[in-house]
Each structure stands twice: as C-alpha cells, then as structure tokens.
Amino acid sequence: MSNLIRKSVQAMEGYVPGEQPKDEDIVKLNTNENPYLPSPDVQDILSMIDISVLSRYPDPVCVELRKAIAELHGCEVENVFVGNGSDEVLALSIRAFVEREGSVGYFDPSYSLYPILSDIEDVEKKPVALDAGFGWQMPDDYSASLFFLTNPNAPTSFVYDKPTVEHFVQNFDGVTLIDEAYADFADDNCMEFALKYDSVIVARTLSKSYSLAGIRLGYCVGSAELIGAMFKIKDSYNVNYLTQEIARVAILDQDTMKANVSAIVETRKLVADKLSELGFQIGTSQTNFLWVKPLGIGAKPLFEALRKKNIIVRYFGGDERTKDYLRVTIGTAPEMLKFLDVTEAILNGEA
C-alpha cells in the first residue's frame, strides 16, 4: 500500500495532541484550556437557535463574526479571516505564502504543529534555535518565505518585547505570522503590526482566553491582500453555523473574557510563588500556564508521580532542552491547591 501514499507523508510524524482523559476525577493541567465558563451569552444564543437553519450551509465567509472581530481590533472586515481553529489559519498560511521551493521558519522549541504543517506541504523547515534560557536571537543572513513568530511562546510561556518583534518584521523579507494564542494573558500584544505592515498577520484563538476550545475557532488579522489570498484557498464552508454564532456573541462580551483572564493571572502568580518556595525554577509567564523546572527532583519523575495521583501536566521529554521542565496549565483555584499540596507531598516523600 505504500505506493499509494505520498512519500513526504510516509516519512513525516503526525501531530500528537495533549492527552484528553475521560475520568472526571483527574485534575487536567496539560492542554492549556481555560477552566472557567465562557460568556453566558453563549448559553443564550444556543437556546435561541432555530434548528431548521442547520439544514442549510453556513455563511461561507463568516461576515457577521468578522464584523465583530473587526470592531474589536479597529480594522475593516476585509482585514479579517476566520478559520476552523487557529490551526487552519496556520495551515492555510503555508499553502498561500510558501512556494514549493520556499521555506517555513519558527522558534525551536515552540508549537510542535509548525514543522508538521511544513512536512504536509513538503516545504523546507528552517527552525531558529532558542538559547539555553529560551531567548531569541536571529542567525545572520536568515531568510524564509514565512515565519511563525509565537508570542508569547509555547511551551516556554515567555513574551518577546514589541521593539524586538517590530525590528524583526521590518527586516524580514517574507510573511510574518505572529501567533498570539496567549496574548490576552500577556501585558501587551502586537496586533497593531498586522495593520501597520503589509507582510504581517496576527493570529488569535478563542480556545484559551474565551474558554471555547471545543468550538474550534481561530482568526487572523492582516492586509486585505494577504487575507484575500487565504480566502481563495480555504474550504468552501470551513466554519460551521453554530461556531460562528457562539464565537460572535463571545467576542462581543469582552467583560466575561477579561474577568476569566484576571482570575487565571491571579492564580498564576500564587502558584508561581508557591512553586518558587518549593525550590522550582519558574519562567516569567505571560500565558495561562507555567514553564517550571523542578530542582531536587527530575521533571519526568515528578510528572509520573503526579499522574499516579490523578494530576496530569505536560512533559516534553523528546528534546534535551525541554526534558528538565514541565508545563503546568493554570486551572481553578481548588485544582491548583490540590496540585500544590500533592507536589509538596511528593517532594517531602509523603506521596
């Protein structure tokens, strides 16, 4: 059967999502979901939907949703593209902006989907290795067709300052896609660059700050020319009707989103302070998770010990630079208190 499958697909590794356990007793801190309820307007819109509309195709270009996004970011509807999760935005950007002989750049380590999307399109990968402290320094004479600039970065949780990002996009000859999945948890963002520079796209998702990972909605903002190119190649009806309606009312309710973000940021600080007391090295987080290095106990032993106590965090053991760290999603206050109590017990040999 191998002769029926593209050679590039045979050679590549598929993306492995974070584990999604079904046991309700598990404290799930491994996939950076938001633990709080989304806007109450989501429940209202679901109760109001006439199911007869589901027999018809949805708006293929998501006009009403794009109007809400455009109003939020102070741009025109023509500057907004909406996708089936931000993953579709990333995939379409490679298809739209990278020739077969072109290349895709990204930080290493960063979102592990970037190289997989590049392999799917069979284009060259040009990762930029972060330094030992996960800092960013571009190599001399670097070039690529498209660069995924993840800010704040994952899994490290670090943010790169706006002057550094702006200097990069001013001097980079290709398209820069600034992946801002976690921007609402950060002190600042680079959305303004999407409208200031013709070669910049800024991508966002409703999976994190809006508590809507289950509806799969992402979007990006950029010049009308770049956005228009993505519309040319998208699936005919890429965002379903229910997702469009849910996303629209959630975006209009900024108060709920900001309240949930504030709760997570506050909890994030409390957890970081306690882990520091326990002897952890903590990265300065600008996301809804912490990037932590346990000192005195290895990351893998702690990961496994937590799992035995029904607490799941994320361990990246496949890379020498990340194998000593754990990524811990910020859950509710009770969830994080349990995580901290169990972690302390493990460190003290009591669990």
State residue 319's pLDDT score. 83
Cα(235)–Cα(238) distance, rounded to whole angstroms? 5
Q: Where are the beta strands (DSSP E) in the chain?
A: 27-28, 80-83, 103-108, 124-129, 146-150, 175-179, 200-205, 218-222, 280-282, 289-294, 311-312, 314-315, 326-329
Stretch 320-348: mean pLDDT, rounded?
96
Note the pLDDT of residue 14: 85
**Contact yes or no for 104/144 (Cβ under 8 A):** yes
Give long-range contacts, CB 8 A cutoff, 24+ apart: 165-168.
Answer: 165/190, 165/193, 166/190, 166/193, 168/138
- Name the least confident of 124-128, 129-133, 176-180, 325-329: 129-133
- pLDDT recorded at residue 73: 98
Please state the rounded mean pLDDT for residues 250-265: 98
- Segment among 9-13, 57-61, 158-162, 175-179 with least mean pLDDT: 9-13
For residue 2, pLDDT over 80 is answered with: no
Mean pLDDT to the nearest integer, 255-262: 98
CATH classification code of 40-253: 3.40.640.10
Residue 306's pLDDT is what? 97
Biggest CA–CA distance in the chain, Å, is: 60
**pLDDT given at position 351:** 67
- Identify whether the C-beta of residue 190 lies closer than 8 Å to the C-beta of residue 151: yes
Q: What is the pLDDT of residue 308?
A: 95
For the chain, percent of residues with pLDDT exceeding 90: 89
CATH top class, domain 2-37+255-347 = alpha beta
Position 177 pLDDT exceeds 90: yes
Annotated domain spans of the chain: 2-37+255-347, 40-253
Check pLDDT > 80 for residue 101. yes
Confidence of residue 283 (pLDDT cuts 50, 70, 90): confident
**By C-alpha distance, which of 182, 187, 242 is closest to 206?**
182
- The pLDDT-based confidence of 94 (bands split at 50, 70, 90) is very high
- The predicted model gives 18-41 an average pLDDT of 91
CA distance 222 to 348: 51
Give the pLDDT confidence score for residue 236 in this predicted structure.
Answer: 96
Q: Is it the case that residue 312 has pLDDT exceeding 80?
A: yes
Which residues have CB under 8 Å from 124's CB, separation 6+?
101, 102, 103, 104, 118
Mean pLDDT of the chain: 95
pLDDT in tens, 44-87: 999 999 999 999 999 999 999 999 999 999 999 999 999 999 99
Minimum mean pLDDT range among 8-22, 24-38, 120-134, 167-181:
8-22
Please name the residue that has the structure tokens 């005195």. 296
Give the mean pLDDT of 274-286: 95
